[in-house]
Amino acid sequence: MSVIDLPMLKQQTLDELRHDLANLEDETAYQDLSQTQGFHQGRLRLMLALGGINEAEHDQLELELLQAIIRERERRDS
């Protein structure tokens, strides 16, 4: 039976989310913003379901993600 290290998984999830949000302008690495958005929303939902983050943390992180995606889409469209 495998045991999940929730604090480590939470930190890894947050680190990867922050990295991606900081680098969304790299259109080569982040060609499909919808895919990036869906990937991170899925990870946040998983962390919420596992109890790694609470609902307030989930909502705040998802809001940050959506705001960053919207800003980048607007930048690319201009």
Digit-coded pLDDT (tens) for 52-71 = 999 999 999 999 999 999 99
pLDDT at 4: 85
Give the integer Cα–Cα distance in Å for 36 and 52: 21
**What does the domain layout of the chain look like in residue ranges?**
16-22+32-77
pLDDT at 2: 64
Q: Is the confidence at residue 1, as pLDDT, over 70?
A: no
pLDDT mean across residues, the chain: 95
Cβ contacts of 57-65, under 8 Å, gap ≥ 24: 61/14, 61/17, 64/21, 65/17, 65/21, 65/37, 65/40, 65/41
pTM value is 0.89
